[in-house]
Amino acid sequence: MSFTNSKTTRIVRSITGTDRMAIVAGSVAAVCLLGAFVGFLVRSGLTAVFVIGFLLVVGYGWYTRQALTAKGLTFLATVSTLLTMGLIIVFVLREALPAVRYMGPIDLLSFTGEPMWRTGGEQLYSLAPAIVGTLVETLLAVAIAGPLGVAGALFVSEVAPGWLRAILKPGIEILAGIPSIVFGYLGLVVLNPYFASSSAFGLPGLGSLLAVGLVVGVMALPTVVSVAEDAISSVPESMKQGSLALGATEWQTMTGITMPAAFSGISAAVLLGVGRAVGETMAATVILGNVTDLPTPIFDVFDNTVTLTSLIASQYGNASGLHVNALFAAGAVLFVTVMAISVVSQYIERRMLRTLGGER
């Protein structure tokens, strides 16, 4: 009996000692991480010392308490992501504030002022041309990526044989990884000269919102196809087989059963394509000319203007003072827009899961 009690006591003491060591190690790691963060902000030479200390503590913890260390690292990664996102939001808004104070939020977003963007002399900034350009480009891209993406997802999921599906699915994922500058270069050397020299278009110069919309629509296709195909594949097979058993054709089953059941996921796929179109930078910068006036008429797809992303990319190199703050204001508008689209797409996707019984 005494032997058992003694053994239990040793185990308890061992666990208690190990927990104390874990607390000490975690505290040291937290101090090192905080020191590295502060050192980075103040540009101190001790930042590397704190980073090395943190790595040594993590290595020790991984060797002695691997499970506990893994939990701590995952928690740290989550907190770091949220903290980084918060700091980015604060920084962008802080840098955009002087331009908002100078122009006023109404004038900064309004359709007044000639020219719409002037950096010399009396500084005048209006994001209206960039907002209109982004809106027109996005609408054109979605008009291409939406229908074609949903049709491609239906073909891959419901029509294509197994061997062809095994080829198409990875191929679509590979297309999504092609750099946007490649698409932009193709639009610059193929679409721009065609629209400028074609007798049907005869545009006065290189660059148009139509060319950007076509290129970005093709770029967003893999995203729409991939996400929509996952949504369609998640529809229970029993629903499809029940429809076929009642005498419906495969087309009737796809349009009457599969599409309505996966509508939320398909909508989320299209919204993700919209997010890709709104945030596209290099293709729009390469294809469009740096014209900071509104199209005439305002929704002329053959005219040339800027988007929010191309405005930032084309002017940040020689910007200074209030000009930089105005570009940050454009980034703030873009950030809020993309964030809203992402939130809506996530809500729609969760609604789809609840509808299909995959989430409560």
pLDDT in tens, 282-295: 888 888 877 777 77
Residue 19: per-residue pLDDT: 65
Measured in whole angstroms, how far is the alpha carbon of residue 107 from the centre of its chain?
28
What's 125-137 look like in SS3? Answer: ECCHHHHHHHHHH
What is the mean predicted confidence (pLDDT) over 54-71? 83
What is the mean predicted confidence (pLDDT) over 146-154? 90
pLDDT in tens, 158-176: 888 888 888 888 888 888 8
What is the mean predicted confidence (pLDDT) over 11-19? 49
Phi, psi angle pair for 48, to nearest 5°: -65, -35
Residue 15: per-residue pLDDT: 45
Residue 3: per-residue pLDDT: 47
Q: Which long-range contacts (CB under 8 A, 24 or more apart) does 186-194 make?
A: 186/215, 187/211, 187/212, 187/214, 187/215, 187/283, 187/286, 187/287, 188/286, 188/287, 191/215, 191/287, 192/287
**C-alpha to C-alpha distances, 184 to 43, 187, 194, 213, 323, nearest whole angstrom:** 37, 5, 15, 11, 26
Backbone CA torsion sign across 98, 102, 106, 110: negative
Tell me the pTM: 0.76
* DSSP letters spanning 165-197: HHHHHHHHHHHHTS-HHHHHHHIIIIIHHHHHH
Residue 186: per-residue pLDDT: 87
**C-alpha to C-alpha distances, 132 to 108, 253, 355, nearest whole angstrom:** 13, 40, 36
pLDDT in tens, 245-275: 888 888 888 888 888 888 878 888 888 888 8
The H or E element spanning position 308 is: helix 308-315
Residue 357: per-residue pLDDT: 58
Lowest model confidence (mean pLDDT) among 25-29, 110-114, 173-177: 110-114
Which residue, 209, 196, 208, 228, is CA-closest to 139? 209
Backbone CA torsion sign across 311, 315, 316, 317: positive
Which residue, 242, 227, 112, is CA-closest to 173? 227
Strand partners, 124: 118
What is the rounded CA–CA span in Å between residue 20 and residue 2?
Answer: 27
> What is the percent of the chain with per-residue pLDDT over 90, rounded to a whole number?
1
Residue 13: per-residue pLDDT: 46
Residue 11: per-residue pLDDT: 46
Tell me the three state secondary structure of residue 118.
strand
Exposure on the CB side of residue 40, measured as CA atoms within 13 A: 9
Residue 5: per-residue pLDDT: 54
The chain-wide mean pLDDT, for the chain, equals 80
The answer to whether the beta carbons of residues 327 and 312 sit under 8 Å apart is yes
More confident residue, 356 or 179: 179
Residue 12: per-residue pLDDT: 45
Residue 360: per-residue pLDDT: 46
What is the rounded CA–CA span in Å between residue 247 and residue 328?
Answer: 59
